[in-house]
Amino acid sequence: MAKIEYISVEGLRVDGRRPAEVRNIEILCGPECGVDVNSYDGVAQVRQGLTKAQAFVKGPTDVGRNKQRSQLETSDSPVEIQCEVVMPCEKRVVGNKMDHQSADIAQTVIATFERVVVSHFYKNSVIHIFVNVLENDGGVKATVINAVLVALVHAGIAMRDLIVACTAAMLNRQLLIDPNQLELNASVMELTLAASVSKEEIMYLDLKSKHAIKSVDGIIIKTIEASKQFSILAKAKLKQYARDYLELNSAVHG
């Protein structure tokens, strides 16, 4: 069996990208996603390479009536974010590998966006997030975070900043940005982070390495820089969607 050449002598990866290049990105929101959007307040679909995820947001929904009076009287009661993630071909068996991965991604989404959602706008409310991972070819957690971001904006949820995510891997002493699953399987280090767009503050970081790493500062800087490519596309997409919506609304209501 021939050995896979992950990086050619020309410096190209298996899929033709340079080490610092991200995969092709496609962002859809609302009816463009090809699903029934009437039951949700925000819908988005993000494809990064062959990894594709859909995010659905419902809420904020007032749950004050179900809370005790002492909780209702708490002035700084934060919004509750709930998230469910379904992986491709996932079997609903508690304790299996897929179940753990789904739970991990869901908890990451909650912990990440709790830090940026303007919670005092939604006291005694809950925001439901459902994620359907249609295809997984690596970098799934970053793709999910990016899809949830677009869905939350589409739903009109107020946030202090936009959050974008990216994955990096170390393979043959070369840092690869936005790796696919083939590259991740052969890598000795995998880093996934989510950062705020304006301040570049790290909101989430997960580092897995088979060897000791002297310093991750350079890796983090390059990964944050790569994540900006998604934020540029996401901003452009959301602005275009808003313009199209206003034009349609104007045409309908005159």
List the alpha helices (DSSP H) in the chain. Answer: 69-72, 97-114, 140-154, 181-186, 217-253
User: What residue ranges define each of the domains in the chain, with the CATH number in brackets?
Assistant: 25-253 (3.30.230.70)
Bridge partners of residue 166, in order along the sequence: 193
Q: Which CA distances in Å does 214 have to 188, 209, 240, 246?
A: 14, 12, 44, 52
- Tens digits of residue pLDDT in 232-248: 999 999 999 888 877 76
Burial 103-132 (b: 16+ CB within 10 A, else e): eebbebbbebbebbbebeebbbbbbbbbbb
| C-beta of residue 52 within 8 angstroms of C-beta of residue 45 | yes
- Does the pTM surpass 0.85? The reply is yes
- Tens digits of residue pLDDT in 165-217: 999 999 988 999 999 999 999 999 999 999 999 999 999 999 999 888 888 99
Q: What share of the chain is helix, strand, coil (3-state, %, to 5)?
A: 35, 30, 35
Question: How buried is 6 (Cβ within 10 angstroms: 0-12 exposed, 13-18 middle, 19+ buried)?
Answer: middle
